[in-house]
Structure 1
């Protein structure tokens, strides 16, 4: 008879961390542990190859429950419900209302009306909100806002809940100046807090930093510093910390770094709770951070846009698992055209699937107890706090922004990320890796929208852009050229090497939209030269093994010297000899893809 009291795993002895480490070092066979196994993130975090229970034993918040200080595990006690928000630009009030009703009928539970007219009236709002169930629907107002008029007119609508996305510091951040003078800008926020009823009165748009290429820790540090700037300015006006915090919405961007984004949302709540604690609030709800997440625009692409659907799916999961209150999924085609009914439906249904099929609205903080995510949450909070303190030491967000510290920090991070994309250590699928060579978008793509910059600047605005833009520019140049360049794969010799290097080269030049002429392999050099001439290709890529290159490269160069010759690989012992034959182009894993393709476009005459 089986002894049920016997533990299931008694046959497996406990293994200490030291024993695991010794085994790992042995398996590495002298290779550097940190270089091989430790992930050094852009956030300045060294992620271990594994985590164990002992790694969370000293993390205090792991002992807390949902709705317990410091709210890492969320503000929700019974479920993980969130509002499915959809953006609607308001040009015609009746059309915007009909679009909102349609979205709500098909599963949305929140609408963000982006106003284009500052002179909105009570009658306009009545048309806009007609037949919308205000008790159940989250209504946000963004865009052109005259705060006094809007607050006055909204008082006529009972049960209205949601937010006025007024963000004076956000306007300064992306435009380089306030819409009004500095005092009037903060007066507007004060007025909104006092007169916005049940609505959140203002927003802190940390998402702008995200879409400018900032890291997760920078996004949190700069966003929380903005929030504290509001706290300090508004408490000086006589408002209490409880009045301010309870009326604030924190808006974050969610990228495709899945676990990092989950941890970022959790770390945001942790840091805000600690910050507010220093202000001695009377109401514990003031320690809770109300988070609206928006899927990233920085990583979205105009080429292979359906991949954007996959990106927003994982981003949505990160936001939901992190425990946000509201989520906006941007349509997959937003980078190159006005979103249509299909893309809006897909964006909406992404969230509905997470609720109705995956039941992610049922479980609160499902990542709690994960050794990895708990450690990542703590690490992000620690790094963001360091940067936050540095900003405060410089006089706070407003002073640091006027001095250029914020902009310089983001520029440096964006440059690192741009270089990673150029070197393909950060992959944007369909753009710098595995492009769709048959895709053409020049007839539909539009330029990235940029904010109107005031004539008078008090500081340099941050640059909102997408990581794929530089590659898309090259490919659009190719599309619009009189003739698409052809790239001929001169495959010869060692079967494995020629196939691997031809595949690498096809992918490499495909990122510029060039026409690729691949070949199975030539039996003789003469046969390959004949085919290369007949192809009328501008670029000939020699694909073989390093051992065979010294013999075949000079032969090919002697006959095809009028073509642009490229060697796939970098046989460093023979580079100088090859250059003497006129072969000066080499593509390999360490090539800067972006600069190399820009050079080829220039050589060919594509601008």
Structure 2
């Protein structure tokens, strides 16, 4: 019966479908109306057929994505350290409210003056993953934890030397030697990551998805190479890496971006370092909703952006997620805005059941094709960076800053011309109260010979 039904339909070529679409458009341009340009090198067509014969390695993509063996993700709450007692009480409350992982920002606090026994009172690092954000005090932190927690730890240390250098011009000349010593101290803690490779400084300066991935992977390559020169084995380095990636509002693109990262990382580990692809499986991916796409005008729309960003991160295969409060990028979030952010993750798990399927986007030719295009474009940019001597040399020469700035200028032009829409910013705007422009975060001063990467928001040009 089914065969008889399909026998009534004649085969049509892709060109015939295109001509029908052009006819239905009644004079509108096919390319301008139906082709989706993610950037100048990535174009998504409205439909694909077997005639396309796209050179896409679906097997390679699925093999890389298969490293995710669980559909569970952790919600990693960001907590700013204030005092031992106050921070400890906040952590305890959050554990009862759906948080199952933490990022404790210790800022510029002297770790020798922090009483970690009080900070972690009634908390066990073997039960809950804690990531401690520090500035050049990673060894001191490990020494402090060893004194109060003589067992296996979960979590890690965030000491983003590259991000700090690119945003402030400051570099710790002892970084590689101290990090090599750090790796020696934490090898007995298999679930404790101390090499967190961030994409946030690229993303928040305006990088497109391929730039963000390429520069992040270039950072990982230089990290591996420098630590290898310090005598650390490749396997020991790889076991301690976590990627922390910003996720923007372009839903399908961000899903594909994370899948492309997994594909390229597996390719780098297996082909670049000659290790089994399973070694790449130990690398976790943490995602953070975008600050760059937050808006200070009609700010409640940020809740909607954060929701789609979180969905993209989860479907893309993140292992942990942090969701920014809707007002976090331009004011101090209160308990309400933090609770709403946390509840986004809880609802996606408890009511949307996104934790019930390991890879919900698998088999979508649209997503697989987009993944492939992003990966191919990323490789081209990565090759450019490596040809310039690596991430540090490319940044010192200004290559990265110029490339990102050019991309941001395109984004601004598209927004001003309504080619792209930010709800509540350049369209459907409604100011709930008289708008007060927040203090600018874009002014940077440094004595370096190269430009620095600023923390920006795309909507700033409309906030006047």
Q: Shorter-normalised TM-score: what interval?
A: over 0.9
Question: What is the CA-CA distance between 1:226 and the residue it aligns to?
Answer: 0.8
Name the counterpart of 1:478. Answer: none
Selected match of 2:216 from 215, 223, 231: 223
Selected match of 1:400 from 388, 394, 399: 394
Mark the CA change 1:283 to 1:163 in structure 2 (over 3 Å): closer, same or farther.
Answer: farther
- Bigger shift: 429-438 or 342-351? 429-438
Name the counterpart of 1:75. Answer: 67
Name the counterpart of 1:378. Answer: 372
Q: Deviations over 1:85-106 (max 9, x none)?
A: 1100002121111111111111
Selected match of 2:295 from 289, 297, 301: 301
Name the counterpart of 1:38. Answer: 35
Unpaired segments of 5 or more residues in structure 1?
475-607
- Bigger shift: 261-270 or 230-239? 230-239
Counterpart CA distance in 1 for 2:136 and 2:93 is 25
Mark the CA change 1:119 to 1:106 in structure 2 (over 3 Å): closer, same or farther.
Answer: same
Q: How does 1:227-242 map to 2 (within 5 A)?
A: 227-242=220-235
Mark the CA change 1:141 to 1:7 in structure 2 (over 3 Å): closer, same or farther.
Answer: farther
Q: Deviations over 1:156-199 (max 9, x none)?
A: 42232112112211211111231x22xx1222322222223331
2:265 counterpart of 1:272? yes
Name the counterpart of 2:245. Answer: 252
Q: Deviations over 1:567-590 (max 9, x none)?
A: xxxxxxxxxxxxxxxxxxxxxxxx
Name the counterpart of 2:331. Answer: 337
Q: Secondary structure at the match of 2:355?
A: coil
Mark the CA change 1:446 to 1:27 in structure 2 (over 3 Å): closer, same or farther.
Answer: closer
Does the 8 Å CA contact 1:43/1:216 hold for their aligned counterparts? no
TM-score, normalisation: structure 1? 0.71
Name the counterpart of 1:60. Answer: 57
Name the counterpart of 1:589. Answer: none
Question: What is the CA-CA distance between 1:336 and the residue it aligns to?
Answer: 2.5
Q: When the two structures are aligned, how many residues end up with a matched partner?
A: 458
- Bigger shift: 384-393 or 329-338? 329-338
Question: What is the CA-CA distance between 1:428 and the residue it aligns to?
Answer: 1.9
Does the 8 Å CA contact 1:56/1:375 hold for their aligned counterparts? no
Question: What is the CA-CA distance between 1:324 and the residue it aligns to?
Answer: 0.6
Name the counterpart of 2:184. Answer: 194
Q: Superposition RMSD on alpha carbons, in Å? A: 2.3
Unpaired segments of 5 or more residues in structure 2?
none
Q: Deviations over 1:474-494 (max 9, x none)?
A: 2xxxxxxxxxxxxxxxxxxxx
TM-score, normalisation: structure 2? 0.92
Counterpart CA distance in 2 for 1:452 and 1:100 is 33
Name the counterpart of 1:48. Answer: 45
Name the counterpart of 1:526. Answer: none
Does the 8 Å CA contact 1:176/1:458 hold for their aligned counterparts? no
Counterpart CA distance in 2 for 1:186 and 1:433 is 48
Q: Secondary structure at the match of 2:68?
A: coil
Counterpart CA distance in 1 for 2:318 and 2:75 is 11
Q: How does 1:302-451 map to 2 (within 5 A)?
A: 302-437=296-431, 439-442=433-436, 446-449=438-441
Counterpart CA distance in 1 for 2:435 and 2:216 is 36
Does the 8 Å CA contact 2:133/2:158 hold for their aligned counterparts? yes
Q: Secondary structure at the match of 2:373?
A: helix
2:100 counterpart of 1:109? yes
Mark the CA change 1:437 to 1:329 in structure 2 (over 3 Å): closer, same or farther.
Answer: closer
Counterpart CA distance in 2 for 1:56 and 1:94 is 62
Counterpart CA distance in 2 for 1:30 and 1:304 is 37
Question: What is the CA-CA distance between 1:24 and the residue it aligns to?
Answer: 2.5
Q: Deviations over 1:275-330 (max 9, x none)?
A: 12234344544323421110000111111111000000000000000001111100
Does the 8 Å CA contact 1:122/1:153 hold for their aligned counterparts? no
Selected match of 2:198 from 205, 214, 217: 205
Query: Looking at CA atoms only, which structure, 1 or 2, has the larger radius of gyration?
Result: 1
Question: What is the CA-CA distance between 1:30 and the residue it aligns to?
Answer: 6.0
Mark the CA change 1:145 to 1:221 in structure 2 (over 3 Å): closer, same or farther.
Answer: same
- Bigger shift: 189-198 or 107-116? 189-198
Q: Secondary structure at the match of 2:434?
A: coil
Q: Secondary structure at the match of 1:230?
A: helix
Counterpart CA distance in 2 for 1:131 and 1:12 is 68
Does the 8 Å CA contact 2:61/2:259 hold for their aligned counterparts? no
Counterpart CA distance in 1 for 2:453 and 2:390 is 17
Counterpart CA distance in 2 for 1:20 and 1:62 is 29
